[in-house]
């Protein structure tokens, strides 16, 4: 199984999201129906989820959310709960993205609570982890990844492994146009796999790579044996590029 998850971040209005989702469905539906071992999910802004749901319902392309709050309801102005997302039939929810850690100052405990809420409502959490450039240059990549995984998953219930996806996203590669090299990805994913197994996870928990993924490098990244899919940012907003990298994920040699 290969996963292709598109993170639209703070892009598109509802009408723009509807048009993009429609184009993706028109371009990819028949191919994905022939390639059941490829899972494609797009994550638009909260305001666009209903528009995207209306277009993609009944298709092989799923939809999810970029974040959720750790509480189910309450006086949290501007926040969205997992309960709300479940009613919109979201299949997955991204938690712990580096931009949330950086701009919203989210910590591992808060992310752990969000992940638990996602699980409670039957959705898949996509847990993002990754090191900064300073941390990599200091030789701390392995330590950072282990700290983040243990900090979020150390007290998670055993049921987490059935739904969890982990996305290794080196912070220094996100939005820079410079993806990690295949050998760097393989090394980081080996660290993630080892830590997950120490925490009790089975080997089939998918580990995705994210960070400047596009049509030009998707094949090389997906060819790394430890990579179970990609989390795509900017390229997911370009119909042609996203379709191209999805077709790369559907190639028989990895599926």
Among all residues, which ones are annotated catalytic? 97, 169
3-state secondary structure 104-139: CCCCHHHHHHHHHHHHHCCCEEEEEECCCHHHHHCC
Contact assessment for residue 131 and residue 98, using Cβ atoms and an 8 Å cutoff? no
How far CA 3 is from CA of 39, 110, 166, 233, in Å, comes to: 5, 26, 11, 14
> Residue 183 class from Cβ within 10 Å (0-12 exposed, 13-18 middle, 19+ buried)?
exposed
Contact assessment for residue 88 and residue 191, using Cβ atoms and an 8 Å cutoff? no
Radius of gyration of the chain (CA): 17
Distance CA 63, CA 41 (A): 5
Reading the block at residue 52, the tokens are 């995207």
Reading the block at residue 240, the tokens are 């042609």
Other C-beta atoms closer than 10 Å to the C-beta of 64 total: 26
Contact assessment for residue 8 and residue 234, using Cβ atoms and an 8 Å cutoff? no
């Amino acid at each position: 199984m290969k996963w292709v998850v598109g993170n639209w971040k703070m892009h598109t209005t509802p009408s723009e999201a509807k048009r993009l989702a429609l184009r993706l469905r028109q371009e990819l539906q028949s191919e994905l129906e022939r390639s059941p071992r490829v899972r494609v999910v797009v994550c638009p802004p909260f305001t666009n989820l209903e528009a995207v749901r209306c277009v993609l319902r009944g298709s092989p392309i799923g939809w999810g959310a970029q974040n959720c709050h750790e509480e189910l309801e309450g006086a949290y102005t501007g926040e969205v709960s997992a309960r709300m997302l479940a009613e919109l039939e979201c299949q997955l929810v991204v938690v712990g993205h580096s931009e949330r850690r950086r701009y919203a100052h989210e910590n591992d405990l808060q992310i752990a609570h969000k992940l638990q809420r996602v699980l409670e409502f039957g959705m898949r959490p996509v847990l993002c982890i990754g090191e900064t450039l300073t941390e990599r240059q200091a030789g701390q990549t392995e330590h950072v990844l282990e700290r983040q995984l243990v900090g979020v998953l150390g007290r998670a219930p055993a049921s987490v492994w059935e739904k969890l996806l982990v996305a290794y996203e080196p912070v220094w590669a996100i939005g820079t146009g410079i993806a990690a090299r295949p050998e760097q990805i393989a090394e980081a994913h080996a660290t993630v796999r080892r830590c997950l197994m120490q925490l009790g996870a089975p080997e089939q928990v998918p580990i995705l790579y994210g960070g400047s993924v596009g049509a030009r490098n998707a094949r090389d990244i997906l060819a790394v044996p430890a990579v179970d899919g990609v989390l795509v940012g900017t390229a997911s907003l370009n119909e042609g590029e996203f379709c191209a990298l999805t077709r790369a994920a559907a190639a028989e040699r990895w599926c």
